[in-house]
């Protein structure tokens, strides 16, 4: 009898094949205390040096096999491993002063770091615990003499089943022959989520390890469903769905290079969201007409020192040159409270989502902000750069940030550095910004709606909190009305309104947003082609009519009822 599990969809697609259960390593430190702490310290240094050298080689291997993004993830782990104050010295102190053996000391120190990440309020930071856990496992394997099972050669059609996959796990695996991934832990922003979407491997998380080696497994990344040992009828139905999906994929590929426009020719842009400079090429290859969001935090995370102006300039320049004159929106530093930077001490806050983060932090740490603004302005000469300030909630914040940008521009000009005026926009992710969007539109060059935070702040429902998950939805009328207010204010002011939250790639919401006046949609590169195809099947007039109907709704159910009727009519027209 087939076993069916409902999990969380991480990467779209349909995969089928034979399960290969990834071994869960048992890394239990021995209870015995060392007789000679000094000798144990020497053994630890040998273990540490070997682990560091191994990780260096893995970073290089990642660069060659998987590209820049995965190498940067592992490079961040290398930085954590090399952190003298957070990792190296505390482990040595635990051996020297507490009399722990090296495995116990490694487990205590790195386990503590993992726990700190897991307790973070922000989902992204919680998932960073996987990186710290990877470093812990790497050191413990060396300390305990454990060798992991070899997954470098896998048969075609393998479905990987694991508790969780770390970056170093995936580097050692033959992913070219993997048809699907099922994990019990992880999330959308976990490493397995990122890499499976980049490689187009269907992936589902939140599923218990129910499969055994050799079981037939179906992975439905579209619905988040995993089926173990299906019967013949289920296999036949799934196989037919896969054939249809492959045919649809080939048909959609034409939308990789065509301009983004509605059926009746109304034009806009569909761009890519990226988290590192290395991802720009992948976005371009996926059909992005620009970068709608570059998260500049990658330059700051897990670094022992804050990135200097030259480091930032080179990274921003790389993205602009890669995009070859296409628009690139770079968001200034969005950290604080829930997102920690090792080189930037910050006070702990009881509610970091409502604390000193993003633009608030930058206006408080002016030198930090000044360095980034100078680097951005210098890079602006190498492409179509647009600067975006996150979490603007007042007109005063926008004016202060723009004033600092102008100061940096004049400073560079006095130094003889050629700079030009760069368009400046804001993220609308706080309800206050949507309410005063008409005022902000008079002083901003563009808007970009960040739906992830906008939903969270509007509904007072933390993203990723299962107890309030029923409230967190872009389909809620309150959220939709704030988006319409923002887009309408932008249209009246004659500025572009874009969207860079996850809802931008929702095929049901896309025509609504277009009908509201959103003309730039930015998303994960893997969603670009499908979104462009969806837009191409809608008339602009129908989009506006749909938006008007939705904005009259008072409940989410009413919104979904309208969408169900409209999508049925739309599908009938296409047939």
- Ranges of beta strands (E only) in 420-477 are 424-428, 446-449
The token duo for 290 is: 């620009």
pLDDT at 299: 86
Distances (CA, A) of 313 to 67, 319, 372: 21, 10, 8
The mean pLDDT of 133-154, rounded to a whole number, is 88
Q: What does the buried/exposed string (b/e) look like for 109-131 if buried means 16 or more CB atoms within 10 Å of the residue's CB?
A: bbeebbeebeebbbbbbbbbbbb
Residue 66's SS3 state is coil
What local confidence, expressed as pLDDT, does residue 560 receive? 87
191 is catalytic: yes
pLDDT of res. 72: 62
pLDDT value of residue 188: 65
- N- to C-terminal Cα separation, the chain: 37
Q: Tell me the C-alpha distance between 100 and 35, whole Å.
A: 10
Nearest to 339 by CA among 570, 523, 121: 121
Once rounded to an integer, what is the mean pLDDT over residues 305-315? 93
pLDDT confidence band for 344 (50 / 70 / 90)? confident
Say which residue the tokens 């695996």 belong to. 173
Catalytic residue among 47, 205, 271, 500: 500
Q: Within 288-394, where are the H helices?
A: 309-323, 359-364, 366-379
pLDDT mean across residues, the chain: 88
How far apart are alpha carbons 451 and 457 in whole angstroms? Answer: 10
Question: What's the CA gap between 285 and 213, in Å, rounded?
Answer: 36
What proportion of the chain, given as a percentage, has pLDDT over 90?
58
Q: If you count DSSP H runs as helices and E runs as strands, how many of each does the chain have, helices first?
A: 22, 16
**What pLDDT is recorded for position 575?**
39
pLDDT tens-digit map of 279-302: 899 899 999 999 999 999 888 865
> Which residue's structure tokens are 């967190």?
472
Check if the beta carbon of residue 486 is closer than 8 Å to that of residue 449.
yes
User: 223 versus 375: which is more confidently predicted?
Assistant: 375
Q: Is 500 a catalytic residue?
A: yes
Please report which confidence band the pLDDT of residue 331 belongs to, taking 50, 70 and 90 as the band edges.
very high
Q: How many CA atoms within 13 Å lie on the side-chain side of 43?
A: 20
SS (H, E, C) 142-165: HHHCCCCCCCCCCCCCEEEEECCC
Compute how many other C-beta atoms are within 10 angstroms of the C-beta atom of residue 189.
18
Question: Which residue segments constitute the domains of the chain, with CATH numbers given?
Answer: 3-24+149-231 (3.50.30.10), 37-144 (1.10.274.10), 266-422 (3.20.20.60), 426-575 (3.20.20.60)
276 in Cβ contact with 69 (< 8 Å)? yes
Answer yes or no: is pLDDT of 359 > 50.
Answer: yes
Q: Which of 542, 564, 562 is nearest to 554 (CA)?
A: 562
Number of neighbours of residue 477 by Cβ within 10 angstroms:
16
Residue 175: pLDDT band by 50, 70, 90 thresholds?
A: confident
What's the pLDDT band for 472 if we cut at 50, 70, 90? Answer: confident
As a whole number of angstroms, the distance between CA 454 and CA 503 comes to 11
Q: Is 386 left (phi over 0), alpha (psi -120 to 50) or beta?
A: beta
What order of strands is seen across the sheet that includes strand 158-162? 3-6, 225-228, 216-220, 14-21, 158-162, 178-183, 203-205, 8-11
Cα gap 19→226, rounded to integer Å: 12
To the nearest 10°, report the CA torsion of 5, 7, 13, 17: -40
In the chain, % of residues over pLDDT 70? 89
The helix (H) or strand (E) run that includes residue 548 is helix 540-551
- Please determine, for residue 554, whether its predicted confidence score (pLDDT) is greater than 70: yes
Residues 237, 228: Cα–Cα separation, whole Å: 15
Mean per-residue pLDDT, 339-367: 76
| Alpha helices, H only, 227-340 | 232-252, 280-285, 309-323
Instruction: Report yes or no: 106 and 142 within 8 Å, Cβ to Cβ.
Output: no
Q: Above 50 in pLDDT, residue 337?
A: no
Nearest to 136 by CA among 179, 104, 158, 92: 104
Q: How confident is the model at residue 349 (pLDDT cuts 50, 70, 90)?
A: low
Considering only CA atoms, give the Rg of the chain: 25
Catalytic residue among 191, 205, 271, 362: 191
Is 80 exceeded by the pLDDT of residue 518? yes
Residue 407 has pLDDT above 70, yes or no: yes
């Amino acid at each position: 009898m087939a076993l069916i599990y409902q999990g969380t969809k991480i990467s779209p697609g349909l995969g089928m094949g034979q399960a290969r259960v990834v071994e869960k390593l048992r890394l239990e430190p021995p209870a015995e205390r060392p007789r000679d702490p000094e000798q144990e310290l020497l053994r630890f240094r040998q273990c540490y040096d070997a682990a560091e050298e191994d990780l260096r080689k893995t970073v290089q291997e990642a660069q060659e096999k998987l590209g820049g993004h995965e190498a940067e993830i592992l490079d961040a782990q290398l930085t954590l491993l090399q952190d003298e104050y957070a990792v190296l010295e505390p482990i040595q102190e635990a051996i020297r002063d507490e009399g722990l053996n090296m495995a116990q000391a490694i487990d205590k120190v790195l386990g503590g770091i993992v726990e700190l990440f897991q307790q973070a309020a922000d989902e992204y930071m919680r998932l960073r615990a996987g990186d710290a856990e990877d470093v812990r496992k790497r050191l413990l394997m060396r300390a305990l003499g454990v060798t992991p099972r070899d997954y470098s050669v896998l048969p075609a059609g393998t479905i990987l089943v694991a508790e969780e996959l770390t970056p170093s796990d995936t580097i050692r695996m033959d992913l070219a022959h993997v048809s699907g991934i099922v994990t019990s832990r992880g999330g959308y922003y976990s490493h397995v989520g990122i890499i499976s979407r980049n490689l187009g491997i269907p992936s589902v998380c939140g599923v218990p390890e129910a499969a055994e080696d050799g079981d037939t497994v179906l992975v439905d990344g579209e619905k988040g469903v995993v089926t173990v040992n299906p019967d013949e009828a289920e296999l036949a139905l799934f196989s037919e769905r896969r054939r249809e999906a492959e045919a649809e994929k080939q048909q959609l590929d034409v939308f990789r290079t065509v301009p983004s426009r509605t059926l009746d020719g109304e034009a806009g842009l569909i761009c890519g969201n990226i988290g590192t400079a290395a991802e720009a090429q992948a976005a371009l290859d996926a059909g992005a007409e620009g970068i709608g969001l570059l998260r500049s935090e990658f330059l700051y995370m897990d670094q022992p020192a804050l990135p200097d102006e030259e480091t930032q300039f080179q990274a921003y320049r790389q993205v602009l040159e890669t995009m070859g004159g296409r628009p690139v929106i770079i968001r200034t530093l969005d950290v604080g409270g829930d997102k920690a930077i090792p080189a930037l001490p910050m006070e702990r806050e009881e509610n970091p989502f409502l604390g000193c983060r993003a633009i608030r932090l930058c206006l408080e740490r002016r030198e930090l902000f000044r360095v980034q603004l100078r680097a951005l302005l210098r890079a602006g000469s190498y492409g179509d750069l647009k600067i975006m300030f996150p979490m603007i909630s007042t007109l005063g914040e926008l004016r202060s940030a723009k004033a600092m940008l102008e100061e940096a521009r004049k400073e560079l000009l006095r130094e003889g550095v050629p700079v030009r005026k760069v368009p400046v926009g804001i993220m609308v992710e706080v309800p206050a910004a949507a309410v005063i969007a008409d005022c902000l539109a008079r002083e901003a060059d563009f808007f970009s709606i960040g739906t992830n935070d906008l939903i969270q702040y509007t509904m007072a429902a933390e993203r990723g909190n299962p107890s309030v998950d029923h409230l967190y939805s872009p389909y809620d009328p309150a959220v939709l009305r704030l988006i319409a207010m923002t887009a309408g204010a932008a249209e009246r002011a004659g500025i572009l309104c874009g969207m860079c939250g996850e809802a931008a790639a929702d095929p049901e919401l896309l025509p609504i947003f277009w009908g509201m006046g959103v003309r730039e949609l930015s998303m994960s590169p893997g969603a670009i082609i499908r979104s462009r195809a969806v837009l191409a099947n809608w008339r602009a007039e129908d989009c506006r009519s749909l938006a008007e109907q939705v904005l009259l709704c008072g409940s989410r159910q009413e919104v979904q009822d309208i969408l169900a009727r409209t999508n049925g009519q739309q599908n009938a027209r296409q047939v």
